[in-house]
A and B are shown apart, each in its own frame.
Chain A
Amino acid sequence: MLSKSIINNINYIKRLNDNSGDIITRIINNKIGYIYLESVSSDDKVSDFLNKSFKNISSFRSLFNELNNKIYNSHMMKIDNYTDIFYYLASGYTCIFVEGYNEAILVETRSELDRGVVESSSEPIVRGPKDSFTENHPKNIGLIRKRIKDSNLIFHNTIVGRRTKTTVSVAYIRDIADMDSVNKIISKLKKIDIDSIIDSGYIRELLEENSKSVFPKMISTERPDLACTSLLDGRIVILVENTPFVLILPAMLIDFIHSTEDYYHKPMNASFNRLLRVICFFITIVTPGMYVALMTFNPEIIPNELLISLSMQREGVPFSTAIEVLLFVIVFEMLREADIHSPNVSGSAMSIVGALVLGDAAVNAGIVSPIVIIIVAITSISELVFYDVDIINALREWRILFIIASLLLGLMGFVLAGIILLAKLVSITCLDIPYLTPFSPLYIKQWSDSIFRFPRGNLKYRASYLTNNIVREVNCEEDNN
Chain B
Amino acid sequence: MKKIIISFFILFGVCGCWNYKELNDYAIANGMAIDYIDNKYNVSFLISNGKKIENKSSNSQYQSFIYSGSGDTISDAVNDIGLIIPKQLYIGELNSIVISEEVAKNGLYDALEYLLEDSKSKKNFFVVLAKDSLAKDILSVTTQISDNLSESISNNIQSSNRSQGSIVSKTFNDIIYELVNDGIDTFISSYTIVGNKDMGVTNDDLESNEPKSYIKYDNLGIFKGDKLVGWADSNQSNGINIINNDVNELYLNIPCDDGYVVVNTTDLHSKKEIGKDFVKINTTGNAWISEVTCSINLDNEDNINELKKRIDMEIEKLINAGFMFARENKSDVFGFGLSYYKNNPKEYKSINWDDIYSKIGINVNVNIDIKKSGSLKKNIERIKDE
A residues neighboring B (CB under 8 Å)? 212, 295-297, 299-300, 304-305, 307-315, 317, 320-321, 404-405, 407-410, 413, 416
Contacts and interface: CB of A to CB of B under 8 A. Distances in A.
A79 to B, nearest CB: 51
Given A212-B1, A312-B50, A312-B54, A299 B23 contact: yes
Given A212-B1, A320-B22, A300 B15 contact: no
B92 A300 contact: yes
Interface stretch (B24-32, B69-77, B234-242): B24-32
B50 A311 contact: yes
A93 to B, nearest CB: 49
B23 A409 contact: no
Contacts of B92: 299-300
A321 B24 CA distance: 10
Given A307-B28, A407-B17, A296 B50 contact: no
A413 B90 contact: no
A311 B93 contact: no
Given A295-B22, A299-B26, A299-B90, A312 B17 contact: no
B308 to A, nearest CB: 46
Interface string B207-235: 00000000000000000000000000000
A308 B48 contact: yes
B53 A314 contact: no
Interface residues of B, number: 30
A315 B26 CA distance: 11
B48 A409 contact: no
Residue among A212, A297, A311 with the highest chain B CB neighbour number at 10 A = A311
Contact of A297 (B20, B48, B122): B20
Shortest 3 CB-CB contacts between residues of A and residues of B: A312-B50, A314-B24, A300-B92
Contacts of B15: 408-409
B13 interface: yes
B23 A300 contact: no
B95 interface: yes
Given A321-B23, A404-B12, 14 more contacts: A299-B90, A299-B92, A300-B92, A300-B122, A307-B28, A307-B93, A312-B24, A312-B51, A320-B22, A408-B12, A408-B15, A410-B18, A410-B19, A416-B11
Contacts of A407: 17
B48 A405 contact: no
B46 to A, nearest CB: 12
A360 to B, nearest CB: 17
A212 B54 CA distance: 47
A405 B8 CA distance: 10
Nearest to B47: A308
29 contacts: A295-B23, A296-B20, A296-B21, A296-B22, A296-B23, A297-B20, A299-B93, A300-B92, A300-B122, A304-B30, A304-B93, A305-B147, A307-B23, A307-B28, A308-B48, A309-B50, A311-B26, A312-B51, A312-B54, A314-B24, A315-B51, A317-B24, A405-B12, A408-B16, A409-B12, A409-B15, A410-B18, A413-B12, A416-B12
A404 B16 CA distance: 12
B21 A297 contact: yes
Contact of B93 (A300, A313, A315): A300
B90 A308 contact: no
B85 to A, nearest CB: 14
Nearest to B91: A300
B120 interface: yes
A112 B54 CA distance: 65
Contacts of A409: 12, 15, 18
B199 to A, nearest CB: 27
A297 B19 contact: yes
B123 to A, nearest CB: 11
Given A300-B92, A300-B120, A321 B30 contact: no
